[in-house]
Structure 1
């Protein structure tokens, strides 16, 4: 038992990013405005895989906390790793949504709804906790400056936005009246929580890039995380607008539906600009050398949220250009997921290096000026800070 549990000694919360990245491939397939033969079947198979992975990774995390409690308790003091506590709730929310959208074809709608509701409640509670607890730790304990800003700072504040999107899928099953309207308003409140926090953090990332230009190669993929709150907010605004009429009526329901488009299109413009910047920086880094690490999962989930956002805009505007962009974005998502999933499988199963202890990395929780890194080949994200 001791040797077996050692496999989980270096398990970190960022592993749940693989669940997020895989789950979004399944859910984005369902919402595409143009459906292709076999797409839903393939997405359903992928849902089965990601559902099993969530169970296995959750069980592994429990083992990690039981057998390696000191290490587990130290993660929240690490100025980099602490932010990835936002990954587990987003993984739960993503799998829950995929269960309702796809799993109902296999296990029945009633069971799928129960699973989704359970995962939504748990993911929402944990997500709200991460949105408050991690910034609190950053404000009071972590030794960081604006020069340390990176995409991972968004991770703990994005889960409420995912709750808003996936909560919209539950609105058809919530009784109309006070309960339904309360659910709708709660989703919009979480939408605002995540949006406002993201609008504070994104300029800090821009500031670091513009003034310091020192982003480590291993941190470059995290630039794509910025697309997460952008794409997810477009998705949330359109999904909530689409289903608002189920629990609200009259002018309010109509206004919320219009808001989805009026908000989504301008934000899409910025998302496309950021995607272009992230792409050229990534290509530039690839030419110089971009070592594989779990940061590569940043290429998947954020892009997937943009695909679902585009699908929502296409459904409301019926514009062919949005439909084409959604399909094209999904093709890019599939390609990115295939590469990252293959590299992760090779690193964790074939070579086993992703479960090795970080070699030469500073102790978790170290607060000295030049220390905030984890192994770039281990289970952590390698994000060295400025000295």
Structure 2
């Protein structure tokens, strides 16, 4: 399968990941149609076409499937049913089965555990009737909704069993996963590209730091041993192969103090922690997404400089009005990306910046200066 430049590619979802996919596709000569329910969206505003409709709207899906050579997703909460429907008309990557596993925390955890992948202690909480049987060793823990949670949303910290019922109610009495809270030494992510011939290319592994459940910074390369990075890549490869996954996949890992690695989550798409690749790698994760979708060869993921630090820009920064972007742009080795969102809200990802440097220490120092100037 080879889809030539000039073809129309379809995208389910209009957020910033879709915007960066569309830009990469257009740079390579493709055209893009975005299907998204919102009247305005970061991806819809730059795509050749924007179909404003629900993801399960048959008429819109027929239009997408009949006019696009291939379709991919911008985020994992697109209904898997829509992907199954489209797969009868055109190439769809990733497939519905992979997405249905990754978009449901219960299915995701069960898939990982049943296939022998390393995960932390957890249990499934379907409803209040499950509460009396829960092992107290899981406390303190984190209760996470099985569907639609992201950036710290849809989850609550649980110190002891007495407040579990209250937390379940606060999350809508919907099925959840209760995970034991672990003492983490590091958090890392492996972003990879897999084609339909089982060829896999890895991006450099970032070390991630979160604030309020939202990714704050990614440091590249991770300041960890080659052994730990190698173990994480090996597990991620096995996850992609077991899923028979085609496209860009991110596997997030917890690293414990003894060097043990545990899979946290799977994302069937480009990932926030891979945004550094837009400037720091020969091929970005979004160009690689286009390549995998269209049956093209893998691009090189080699770093163009020795180190990089990517920092998210949240809507909180607009509390005193539009930030002074000169604080970033005055540094010639720092790249600014804004996502075209009209309304800045606390906790909302509005953009990011990436500092390139010869060492991680230099990149971190430059990042600290910019954060101070912008009053992060």
TM over 0.5: no
With the length of structure 1 as denominator, give the TM-score of the two structures. Answer: 0.27
Please, what TM-score do these two structures have when normalized by structure 2?
0.28
In terms of fraction of residues, the more strand-rich structure is 2
* Relative contact order, higher structure (CA 8 A, sep 6+): 1
